[in-house]
Amino acid sequence: MSAPTTSPAAPTVPVALGRPSGNGSQESPTWVRVSGASAIALRLRSGRFGRSFAFGGINLLLTYDDGCRSDCAYCGLARTRPGTYDEKSFIRVEWPLVATDELVARMAAHEERLTRLCISMVTHPRAFRDTVTITEAIRSSVRTPLSVLVAPPTLNRRKLERLADLGVDMIGVGLDAVTEDLFRSLRTEVPAGGAGLSWDKYWSVVSDARDLFGPWKVNCHLLVGLGERDRDLLELITALHDQQVLSYLFCFNPEPDSRLGEREKTPLRRWRRIQLARFLVQERGFRLQDFGFDDEGGLRAILGPPEVVRDAIRSGEPFMTNGCPGEQGEPGCTRPYGSYRPSEPFRDFPFLPNGEDLAVLEAELAVEELLERGRR
């Protein structure tokens, strides 16, 4: 015999994942989506990570048959992106559907290994109500710290208070575009309408959340690579730091068929340098004046103490995923392979980079060039 000729079907290992029902019944709050990594961690799906590391950050996403009402140019869930909501990816990964009750039961069963939970809202009229329902279900069974990545158009101060009362300890705001002009062009003035997404509304929610949840309990997601300048990013990061609001960086990686689907992904060197600069501001007290920019607003020099910069790089910490912490302050939400393929360099490390990783990172950064310019 030269080769097998039978075609047995692949094994069907029972899992608790949903299947499209066609009757519109698999929606939040009864159903939610979970990230692929979360599905593996909770044994909802088979699979493994490319490198061995502890993983306990579980990400949930609300789900509706008629999808997210927003139409952001870069987003996999955008209203005008081709495909049904069920087929759409979000931050380039598939989000399997799972029954909320089953998910909560699994979280409880695996609670010892979990570090952080996060519910991502979408812009939908039922999003707040359903987030409350899901939060209550989680809090009744699981003690792991819980964040909500909010959809500002669906919220007001009173609703944020309600989330705090329910035991949510951190709030994320997906600002993504770091200037008002970019925000307007990519999120407000869009083909399917802005769905209430406005720069002012987002900042009003950041401000209310900061008041209600306290210092370092609110974070803004900033997407690097939408057309902003390095200076725009550093201005915003330092301004947020002054308000004791965290900046979480995300690396732009085009979602196929989105309106920015043909845009180049952010060059690695630029990304590494922005990661480093954010860390220096947030963890080492650097200010905007510790950085030098060229006429186009590109980062061209670091003027702060070189040894502090080199120590920061050697620590590996600047290049780890920006995410909400676990109960003891350890990395909680690490989103492995969230904005890059497993065969590509880690854009964010879901663990502390090792010596080999650091050697590669240093080459990618070419930081001496920035330090040398800073000395001139």
Partner 1 sequence: MSEDDAVAGPTDDGQLVRVEGFLVRLDLAYEPDGHLWVAPPDGSTGNVRIGLDPLGVETTGTVAHLVVGSVGTRVRRGEPLGSLEAEKFVGPLVAPLTGVIRAVNPALATPRQVVEDPYGTWVAEVLPEAWEEESAQLVRGADRLPAWFADEVRRFRLEGVLAQ
Strand blocks (E) in 69-197? 97-99, 116-120, 146-150, 170-176
- Name which of 40 and 72 has its Cβ closer to partner 1: 40
Stretch near partner 1 under the rule CB under 8 A, chosen from 1-9, 143-151, 259-267, 271-279 = 1-9
Among 6, 23, 289, 328, binds partner 1 (CB under 8 A): 6
Single residue of 14, 22, 329, 355 touching partner 1 by CB under 8 A: 14
Nearest distance in Å: CB 60, partner 1: 18
Out of 31, 33, 34, 40, which residue is the one contacting partner 1 (CB under 8 A)?
A: 40
Helix axes 355-365, 268-284, angle to 10 degrees: 110
Residues 42-71 that bind partner 1 (CB under 8 A): 43-50
Q: Is 12 in the site for partner 1 (CB under 8 A)?
A: yes
Binding mask 70-99 for partner 1 (x = CB under 8 A): -----------------------xx-----
Residues 300, 304, 306, CA angle at the centre, nearest 5°? Answer: 90
Residues 107, 54: Cα–Cα separation, whole Å: 16
Q: According to DSSP H, which parts of the chain are helical?
A: 36-41, 100-109, 127-139, 157-165, 180-183, 199-213, 230-242, 268-284, 306-315, 355-365, 367-375
Collapsed DSSP state (helix, strand, coil) of residue 70? coil
Minimum CB distance to partner 1 smaller for 98 or for 149:
98
Contact 209, 173 (CB under 8 A): yes
x/- letters, 94..133, toward partner 1 (CB under 8 A): x---------------------------------------
Nearer to partner 1, 82 or 342 (CB): 342
Site for partner 1 in 324-353 (CB under 8 A): 336-337, 341-343
Residue 97, helix vs strand vs coil: strand
Residue 3 is a binding residue for partner 1 (CB under 8 A)? yes
4 sits near partner 1 (criterion: CB under 8 A): yes
> Cα–Cα distance between 146 and 135 in angstroms, integer?
8
Among candidate residues 280, 274, 268, the one with its CA nearest the CA of residue 297:
274
Quick check: 13 binds partner 1 (CB under 8 A)? Answer: yes
Q: What is the dihedral of CA 146, 158, 182, 87, to 10 degrees?
A: 50
Binding site for partner 1 (CB under 8 A): 1-15, 36-37, 40, 43-50, 93-94, 336-337, 341-343
